[in-house]
Amino acid sequence: MEHFITGTWMLFGDLEALFIFVLGLLGGMFFGAIPGVNMLTLGAVILPFTISMEPTHAVMLYSVIYCSGVFGGAITAILFNIPGAPENAPTCFDGYPMTVKGMAGKAIGAAVCCSAIGGVCSALLMMSATGPIANWAIRAFGSQEIFALIFFGLAVSASIGSANLWKGWLSVFAGLLLATIGTDPVGGIPRFSEWSILNWEYKSYYLSAGLHFIPMILGFFAVSEVLVQATAISSGTRQRMKASMEFPSIVEFWKVRYTMVRSIFIGFFAGILPGIGATLAAFLGYSQAQKWSSRKANFGKGEMEGVVASETANNAATGAAMIPLLALGLPGGALTAMILGIFQIHGMEPGPLIFMNSNDLVWITFAAMFWANLLIVMLGWIQTKTVVHVLRIPFRYLAPIILLLATVGAYALRNLMIDVWIMFFAGILGYFMRSTGYSPAGIILGLILGNLGESAFSKSMQLMNYDFLGFFSRPISGILLALGGLAIISSIWTEIRTSRSPQSAIKRSDN
């Protein structure tokens, strides 16, 4: 506690630190909230400037950007159906329908409060036991357990966001297939990046890096959304969104308290495992909320509980992701890898010694993350009252801006033109997928988890001398695989039963 007070004092008692804190908070939120660019873009842009900063300030800045950026991505998800980052994708499922219904203020309000609650809780957990939690996670979770967790995550989240189970799985499989492009994780053997047909040989250094999820997200969500809206405008079916500013009431939050608590645990747990992070957390949080909710049928149609579930989980994952980074020096995602870089630029290494050598740095970071999450509520409240006015801008003016920013965002990722082409291609594909009931979110989930999952699977198989049953000799991986298998069987069973029920027969005859 006294460490926390010292950290807070260092943060608010020092004008320079406070300035950087506010800059990070606003910057993260701003970059997160503009469709196309995201917190990673901001992180990469300001990296050279951190060289001349004090290391304490630089690390604090990035951790604040991390907190506010994950939240900022929710705003575009809710207002435009364009998630700022993959971890905001499930927020679209209910956030955007709420906007369509004229409840944008409520959806943003829910996202704001839940991001803050998720973030604050995980910051508290992080402050209380970073060292022991990190040590437990690193020992208990080997490649086998990570693979089993990813399998479980896919099994329970596959069908969300699609018209039915089969289309959901097909979307995820398409994502898994796309994840194989590039090089294989074991031997680095090229896959789909070079081939020869008759006498024509093709080889792409670009494709050997695989498809990055950021241009894919921009394409599947931003570009395809612009196309969907354009079609609606030209056919005269587009509804003008109402810009409401109503904030959710405390009673409404109380109704979803269990979902919040569940998502905090899911988010925190997924966050501490290096490499898993916020995306799986958000999808798992959403799918579990849907499973246990009494208003199951409303999910996907503008149910606030859906927004609550995914936003609580993804922000809970941010605090947790700092744990392996600080305690062990192991970054779990792109932004935490940048933070590791900042430590190194200043000649420091995070790890167990950091609590002894740089206690100030650790506690100013913890304090900053805690306060950043709390301040999200205040800033978010202001945003609710202001940002929804963007909806008043006619879409024909908004569309080119979105496309322009998306192009910049795709290019800025690696400074390679191929990412821009991939984005537009994904956009056109996404348009047709959406009009036929397939799920762009499913593809993204498959793409991200496909890369992580294949890497974990191949390592596991090497470690177990290619004995598949080895997964079941370890309790955690065995249980997760079994649960995943059960989830698949039960979802197929439910799908078959519902499609044979009299009601759906009536529906079919109506068609």
Question: What's the min distance (Å) between Cβ of 310 and another protein?
Answer: 26
Work out the number of other CB atoms within 10 angstroms of the CB of residue 356: 8
Question: What's the min distance (Å) between Cβ of 192 and another protein?
Answer: 13
Question: What's the min distance (Å) between Cβ of 473 and another protein?
Answer: 14
Q: Which is nearer to another protein, 55 or 102 (CB)?
A: 55
Inter-residue contact 162 to 437 (CB < 8 Å): yes
C-alpha 279/C-alpha 261 separation (Å) is 18
Question: What's the min distance (Å) between Cβ of 344 and another protein?
Answer: 6
C-alpha 477/C-alpha 271 separation (Å) is 18
Beta strands in 114-219 (DSSP E): 182-183, 190-191, 194-197, 200-203
Place of tokens 């305690």: 327
* Site for another protein, rule CB under 8 A: 43-44, 47-48, 51, 138-139, 141-143, 182-183, 185-190, 193, 205-206, 208-210, 212, 274-275, 324, 328-332, 334, 337-342, 344-345, 347, 349-353, 414-416, 455, 458-459, 462-463, 465
Using alpha carbons only, what angle is made at residue 25 by residues 60 and 263, rounded to the nearest 5 degrees?
A: 90
Retrieve residue 246's tokens.
Answer: 């109503």
Q: Which is nearer to another protein, 102 or 351 (CB)?
A: 351
Q: Which is nearer to another protein, 91 or 143 (CB)?
A: 143
Q: Which is nearer to another protein, 108 or 330 (CB)?
A: 330
C-alpha 406/C-alpha 222 separation (Å) is 7
Retrieve residue 427's tokens.
Answer: 């956009």
Question: What's the min distance (Å) between Cβ of 449 and another protein?
Answer: 15
Question: What's the min distance (Å) between Cβ of 115 and another protein?
Answer: 25
Q: Which is nearer to another protein, 309 or 334 (CB)?
A: 334
C-alpha 130/C-alpha 63 separation (Å) is 15
Inter-residue contact 178 to 450 (CB < 8 Å): yes
Work out the number of other CB atoms within 10 angstroms of the CB of residue 194: 13
- Burial class, 501, CB count within 10 angstroms (exposed 0-12 / middle 13-18 / buried 19+): exposed
Question: What's the min distance (Å) between Cβ of 476 and another protein?
Answer: 13
C-alpha 438/C-alpha 286 separation (Å) is 18
Q: Which is nearer to another protein, 187 or 236 (CB)?
A: 187
| β-bridge mates for residue 183, sequence order | 190
Q: Which is nearer to another protein, 164 or 204 (CB)?
A: 204
Question: What's the min distance (Å) between Cβ of 213 and another protein?
Answer: 13
